[in-house]
Amino acid sequence: MIRTRQGVLSWPSLLVLMLLSGCQAQDNGPGSTPASLDEPFPPARGGQLRNAVGADASNLIPFIGADSASHEIAGYLFNSLLKYDRNLELEGDLAQNWRISPDGLSITFTLRPDLRWADGKPLTSADVKYTFQTIIDPKTHTPYGSDYTLVKSLETPDARTVVVHYKERFAPALSTWAGLSILPAHILKGQDINATPFSRQPVGSSYYRLGNWVPGQRITLKDNPLSTGGRPLISAINYRIMPDPAAQFLELSAGSLDQMSLTPVQYTRVFPAREDLRARYNTYKYLGNNYTYLGFNLKRPPFNDRRVRLAINYAIDKQELIDGVQLGQGLVIAAPFKPGTPWYPRDLQPYPYDPRKARALLAEAGWIDHDGDGVLDRNGRPFHLEIVTNNANESRQLAATLIQRRLKEVGIDVQIRLVEWASFLSQFINTSNFDAVILGWSLSLDPDQYSIWHSSEQGPGKFNFIGYSNPKVDQLLEAGRREMDPQRRAIIYQNFARELHKDAPMVYLFAPYSLVAVHKRVRGIEPAPAGIGYNIEDWYIPRPLQNISIQR
């Protein structure tokens, strides 16, 4: 999923941040002195976590509510058969174990014993079957059914066993079962999933259950004593719906929020300048699952020429982008994978900033400044390039501006066009009507990127909209989907990344860090490759720090 859109008021937000960095708020944090916040206290049950979310959830049935707010809330309520652990490796969630048949065509999941829904009813393989049948039902309004098109049949020989048979070997299968939240058949059977009251009164099996939902204002989650993984230590999570990031930061400054994602400005400028914030909040930084790129329209000359793409790659100073756009909070990458994962080839280096090489490559491709106007030309046509991106994403606009300057230095005239999101998708992306775009991809935890890179995935509404076509890459993507052995699979994707790097169909600009502030009263956080939220059940608020005035 593409990550886009800051809030609707991003420039005022910036203004207030600049102002805030100059003004020191007095520290009367809620109910505790900064000194007690640094004291070690033993873990305790109770307390409530005060969070903010940018929009109201829409539908808490996970595969129908595709918006990020619904996803975040539903993530506390439901379990899948499998899940990713702190090191982003698969482990059992509802499933105690799983077994892949030697031919790679069947997976047998065995559920944990004595699983219960939050209403006390048993959770069985029938629930898994119901969920599967619902997501593949064409009548269900979900975009995610296609993950299961290769499933031939799903059998439930007994209450604890689920056997899935595939038409062909499909290596991302396990990851798709880690992404499918299991719903309670005993409540939903016979109902229209698209219009069920369950979407607002869900019953799940995970650490929390829905408490109170005041539409547009707040959502409260309470701990679920019957939870599959045991009762969480924090008794309640309170989400306040706050669309404006500047307002969220004001609430953080006032001590009324326990947790918030920070912008690079807040992380690198505001926090170091504000003693009161540092006294009350810990900050965390970890590599996110997404990257920003400059993608070319490979069907359009001169971007169908590898030398031109390489030249642009050499002409862009990626570290300058990270420093200028992300204030240093990002990483240069050389492959469309998260660095540190098995599929990211360690030896692969990003193209360095080398304008001389860029000019040489452009000259080799026939682009020379014949008329001396500073812009390269070939056959009498100057080298113009239009970069399109969406208007509500400030970091992409800044990146476009820096790229514009660097490309001008090698003789390429760049125009920037900013377009509203829905228009951007329908007029430029779906019709492949662009020279170059700045966008980002969020990475799934499985390395399969068939829908983005395979040559068959071109056409209106498909995701290979840059028009990439390389038989070798196609073959590797197909092999990667069939290979069930993790080590051999990793090698396939490393080769895929190398082939992409050689071909340079896009310029990987940067992979940004996720930056988070969490109130010091919240303990038990252990940053890991998966971030910080993976062990929410072990977070706790020490008893002396639980009684705070809830919100001012």
Partner 1 sequence: MLTYLARRLLWMLPILLGITLISFVVMHLAPGDVTSTEASFDPRMSSEARERLREAYDLDKPLLVQYGLWLERIVQLDFGKSFAPDATPVIDKIAQHLPITLLINVLAIALILAIAIPLGLLSAVKARSLFDYISTILVYIGFAIPSFWLALMLMIWLGVEQHWLPITGLTSLDHEQLSFWGRTSDLAEHLILPVLVSAIAGIAGFSRYIRANTLDVLCRDYITTARAKGLPESSVIYRHALRNALLPTITVLGLSIPGLIGGSVIVESLFSIPGMGKLFYDSVLMRDFPVVMGILVIGAALTLAGNLLADLAYAWADPRIRRGIGQ
Which one of 101-109, 150-158, 251-259, 511-519 is the stretch in contact with partner 1 (CB under 8 A)? 251-259
Nearer to partner 1, 397 or 401 (CB): 397
The yes or no reply on residue 199 touching partner 1 (CB under 8 A) is: yes
471 counts as binding partner 1 under rule CB under 8 A: no
Closest contact distance (angstroms) between CB of 260 and partner 1 is: 13
Sequential DSSP letters for 128-140 = HHHHHHHHH-TTS
- Footprint on residues 137-166 left by partner 1 (CB under 8 A): 138, 141-147
Query: Which tokens in the block code for residue 363?
Result: 């000259």
Nearest to 409 by CA among 351, 362, 341: 362
Residues 6+ away with beta carbon under 8 Å from 207: 76, 223, 224, 227, 229, 231, 232, 536, 537
- Count of residues that interact with partner 1, criterion CB under 8 A: 80
Question: Helices 10-22 and 394-409, interaxial angle, to 10°?
Answer: 90
Closest residue by Cα to residue 247 from 77, 61, 17: 17
Closest approach of Cβ 392 to partner 1, in Å? Answer: 9
Shortest Cβ 308–partner 1 spacing (Å): 27
CB of 243 to partner 1, least distance (A): 5
Check binding of 479 to partner 1 (CB under 8 A): no
Query: Which residues, numbered 256-275, are part of the site for partner 1 (CB under 8 A)?
Result: 256
Site for partner 1 in 421-460 (CB under 8 A): 421-423, 425-427, 430, 441, 444, 449, 451-452, 459-460
Contact between 132 and 152 (Cβ < 8 Å): no
**Nearer to partner 1 by C-beta: 76 or 351?**
76
Stretch that binds partner 1, among 73-81, 183-191, 246-254, 479-487 (CB under 8 A): 246-254
Strand-pair category, 48-53 with 236-241: parallel
Question: What is the closest distance, in whole angstroms, from the C-beta atom of residue 456 to partner 1 in the complex?
Answer: 12
Q: Kindly state whether residue 309 participates in binding partner 1, applying the rule CB under 8 A.
A: no
Q: Which is closer to partner 1, CB of 120 or CB of 143?
A: 143
Q: What character string, x for contact with partner 1 (CB under 8 A) and - otherwise, covers 408-427?
A: ------------xxxx-xxx
Interface with partner 1 includes 550 (CB under 8 A)?
Answer: yes
Cβ atoms of 184 and 125 within 8 Å: the answer is no
What tokens appear for 149 in the block?
């098109």
The helix or strand, by DSSP H or E, that contains position 238, with its residue range, turns out to be: strand 236-241
Confirm or reject binding of residue 391 to partner 1 (CB under 8 A). Answer: no
> Which part of the chain contacts partner 1 (CB under 8 A), choosing from 4-12, 90-98, 278-286, 524-532?
4-12
Residue nearer to partner 1 on the CB measure, 409 or 420: 420
489 Cβ partners below 8 Å, 6+ apart? 171, 447, 480, 483
Helix (H) or strand (E) holding 325: helix 318-325
Which CB, 36 or 427, lies closer to partner 1?
427
Toward partner 1, which CB reaches closer, 116 or 278?
278
- When asked if residue 462 is in the footprint of partner 1 (CB under 8 A), the reply is yes
Nearer to partner 1, 216 or 471 (CB): 216
Q: Which is nearer to partner 1, 101 or 426 (CB)?
A: 426
To the nearest 10°, report the CA torsion of 235, 241, 247, 248.
Answer: 40
CA angle 213, 533, 16 (to 5 degrees): 70
Distance CA 109, CA 100 (A): 9
In the complex with partner 1, the residue whose CB is nearer, 66 or 163, is 66
Task: Name the segment binding partner 1 (CB under 8 A); options: 92-100, 118-126, 248-256, 314-322.
Answer: 248-256
Q: Does 491 bind partner 1 (CB under 8 A)?
A: no
Pull the structure tokens for residue 439: 């966008």
Contact 376, 412 (CB under 8 A): yes
33 sits near partner 1 (criterion: CB under 8 A): no
Residue 30: CB minimum distance to partner 1, A = 10
461 touches partner 1 by CB under 8 A? yes
**Contacting residues for 225 by C-beta, under 8 A, at least 6 apart:** 231
Q: Is 22 in the site for partner 1 (CB under 8 A)?
A: no
CA distance 96 to 150: 24
- Which of positions 48-107 make contact with partner 1 (CB under 8 A)? 50, 55-56, 58-59, 64-68, 70
Among 40, 195, 197, 471, binds partner 1 (CB under 8 A): 195
Residue 409 corresponds to which amino acid? E
- Work out how close the CB of 317 gets to partner 1 at its nearest, in angstroms, rounded to a whole number: 28
Query: Which residues, 6 or more positions from 74, have their beta carbon under 8 angstroms from its beta carbon?
Result: 57, 60, 61, 62, 65, 181, 202, 204
Positions 215 through 244 that interact with partner 1 (CB under 8 A): 215-218, 220, 238, 240-244
Measure the CA dihedral 309/315/321/324, to 10°: -150
Q: Token pair for residue 157?
A: 């020989």
Pick the closer one to partner 1 by CB: 221 or 412: 221
